[in-house]
Amino acid sequence: MNQTPRIEAYSEELYRALRDRRPVAPLTERDPDLTIDEAYQISLGLLARRVAAGERVIGKKIGVTSRAVQEMLNVGQPDFGFLTDRMRCAPGQAIPIARELIAPRAEGEIAFVLKADLQGPGVTNVDVLRATAGVAVSFEIVDSRVRDWKIKIQDTVADNASCGLFMISDHLVDPRTVDLVTCGMVVWKNGELVATGAGAAALGSPVNCVTWLANTLGAYGVGLKAGDVILSGSLVPLIPIVPGDRMELAVGGLGRLVAEFN
């Protein structure tokens, strides 16, 4: 990967912020002309450092799928980041936010596990459903290496779409047996109801999100692979968490998932 010194410097800065848990000033404050394409180059440089340190890419996440977040960041499109094996937490395992993250927030999502490759352009929702081994409830624990979450779209793209850690239920469901548009999500934190949502909150349907991702990556010659995990976007607002918190989410037709944080 042939990156400019400017892009390399930002990639290294974000990698050090990730490893040292020390946030950095917003890139867009220091570099107002930074483009989204350049931000993705920074993200790839960040990923390359993680892979060189021994991490393995196991999927992707889609972010900025809700209208509210798009309006907040003044963009009309989602973004994406990369999932690695180090980021995945098994159900029943406490999620180590104190050791790994800076300013964590939890999201409830529907995860797709692929059984076949998807290569855009031209991927349809039908193609996505055919290529999916199953869908499951999931928590994504987002985090920002940019200080105080003062982000624009370029900041979050460069920062691997603000991804931190994630957990997926072991219970996979055939996506063709669930209405992923109307399915309802309920989230509890420490026993109290804190959020509700529906599949339509993510670009009208989580399937639309995965189709968007496959076609967006396809324009760069990159495909989704069998075995990949795809986090399709939050159906509820971001919920701040601290060590000691316990969260539970349920989605009609998909089941429940409990996460404890330390």
Tens digits of pLDDT across the chain (262 residues): 567 999 999 999 999 999 999 999 999 999 999 999 999 999 999 999 999 999 999 999 999 887 767 776 677 779 999 999 999 999 999 999 999 999 999 999 999 999 999 999 999 999 999 999 999 999 999 999 999 999 999 999 999 999 999 999 999 999 999 999 999 999 999 999 999 999 999 899 999 999 999 999 998 888 999 999 999 999 998 999 999 999 999 999 999 999 999 9
Alpha helix ranges (H) inside the chain: 5-20, 27-30, 36-52, 67-73, 97-100, 125-131, 153-158, 206-218
Q: What is the 3 state secondary structure string of 185-206? A: EEEEECCEEEEEEEHHHCCCCH
| pLDDT for residue 38 | 96
Distance from chain centroid for Cα 157? 11
- Strands across the sheet containing 255-260: 192-198, 184-189, 246-251, 255-260
CA angle in degrees (0–180, nearest 5) for 236-74-82: 60
| pLDDT for residue 42 | 97
Helix axes 36-52, 5-20, angle to 10 degrees: 60
| pLDDT for residue 66 | 78
Q: In sequence order, what are the residues at sequence separation of 6 or more whose Cβ sits closer than 8 angstroms to the Cβ of residue 222?
A: none
| pLDDT for residue 153 | 92
| pLDDT for residue 67 | 76
| pLDDT for residue 220 | 83
Catalogue all structural domains in the chain, each as residue range(s) with its CATH number. Answer: 5-260 (3.90.850.10)
Nearest to 117 by CA among 43, 224, 1, 206: 224
Structure tokens at 55: 């991490």
CA pair distance 44, 24, nearest whole angstrom: 18
| pLDDT for residue 74 | 73
